[in-house]
Homo-oligomer: A and B are copies of this chain.
């Protein structure tokens, strides 16, 4: 049998402790699967004394994770510190430069420094594995990087944030407000005390940026993402969506268009009968559309210590099955130095259907004015629903429009026009509709 693979784990929070536990509890099985032992040779964390439910007595302790990263007695550096800069970045860079394989679950780090790190890994002939960085336990990186070789991707989209999906699921199932669901999510540990990063779409954007690179062979560009969160989704939207045969999900979508690659994160209406609409609670899902394979959908747990640990252990096992001298496939599917620059599609050119909810004064001529603004911008309507005035709205009425395929620019122009006409009593709501099977 080959020599044991020596692992160094930096960061022993929920995920790090789970990884150590799985490697210990499943040691015999992993040895059988990989043809060699996997040994946790060294660890680093902030608090040495904390009980993590796993015996790490055999591992060398490092107070400084950077020292662990450069240590010659490990083969693989497992980065579970988190954060896009500072220690995590320094450690991963140092480990790669020192010729160590790296496994990381750090989406923020990859979204910002992924390509530069991939260049180091490829130059040094080591692996940089990051399955856990996108959609937790779902093997989407492996699928896109390996299984889809030769496929040209046209669109990749998914539910990539469990917090948002949990909130939207409960809003629909229980008729609760966004605020009430957020508070519950915080109480249950599904949302942070400061939930901005999740609910405004930043977390989804980081993950989407990584998928975009894998899908389209371009550099990662996390700052070029159109982003809208879910905090302005109301019960009125959720109910109207349901009546029209849709469900609201926060999606990350990357799509090839004639003018470049669209990257967008926003609340989206998906058909209630589609597979992705059945993805409830903290579960994640990713759909990938290609020219050869067709459409593939993967769904599963997107977060949590164990699910994330499963992906990290899978990445470690892949390294254990390889041997020194083996030349690996590129980190982002194509060699990092050959990745094209990211070319951003203009959001105003986005094409699709739109859901528009307007709260209007209950007076003569409003309907006609709304319809005229739509027609003037050549927007064809699939349906118009006028809702009875809601008690709290006084004399206001709700008008819901669903458009056929049109452009973002046309919709914005029409809605701006209606706003200027002075018919609205509240700000208009616009939600994009996404085609999904």
Contact mask for chain A residues 292-307; partner B; CB cutoff 8 A; 1 contact, 0 none: 1111111111001011
A314 touches which of B146, B307, B313 (Cβ 8 Å) = B146
B150 in contact with A139 (CB, 8 Å): no
Selecting from A32-40, A46-54, A197-205, A255-263, the interface stretch reads A32-40
A335 at the interface (CB under 8 A from B): yes
B137 in contact with A293 (CB, 8 Å): yes
Interface size range of chain A in the complex: 35 or more
A309 in contact with B326 (CB, 8 Å): no
B149 in contact with A33 (CB, 8 Å): yes
Q: How far is the CA of A326 from the CA of B327 in the complex (A)?
A: 9
Contact (A314, B274) CB under 8 Å given A292-B306, A327-B323:
no
A279 at the interface (CB under 8 A from B): yes
A123 at the interface (CB under 8 A from B): no
Q: How far is the CA of A294 from the CA of B303 in the complex (A)?
A: 11
Closest B residue by C-beta to A306: B292
A33 in contact with B326 (CB, 8 Å): no
B151 in contact with A310 (CB, 8 Å): yes
For A2, what are the chain B residues with a Cβ–Cβ distance below 8 Å? 327
Q: How far is the CA of A386 from the CA of B202 in the complex (A)?
A: 54
B147 in contact with A142 (CB, 8 Å): yes
A335 in contact with B32 (CB, 8 Å): yes
B313 in contact with A150 (CB, 8 Å): yes
For A273, what are the chain B residues with a Cβ–Cβ distance below 8 Å? 278
Chain A residues in the interface with B (C-beta under 8 A):
2, 22-23, 26, 29-30, 32-35, 131, 137-139, 142-143, 146-152, 273-275, 277-280, 290, 292-301, 304, 306-307, 309-311, 313-314, 316-318, 321-323, 325-330, 333-335, 338, 437
Besides the contacts A292-B307, A297-B300, what 14 more A-B pairs have beta carbons closer than 8 Å? Answer: A2-B327, A26-B152, A33-B329, A35-B335, A139-B143, A151-B310, A278-B278, A292-B309, A293-B306, A317-B329, A321-B327, A323-B326, A325-B325, A326-B326
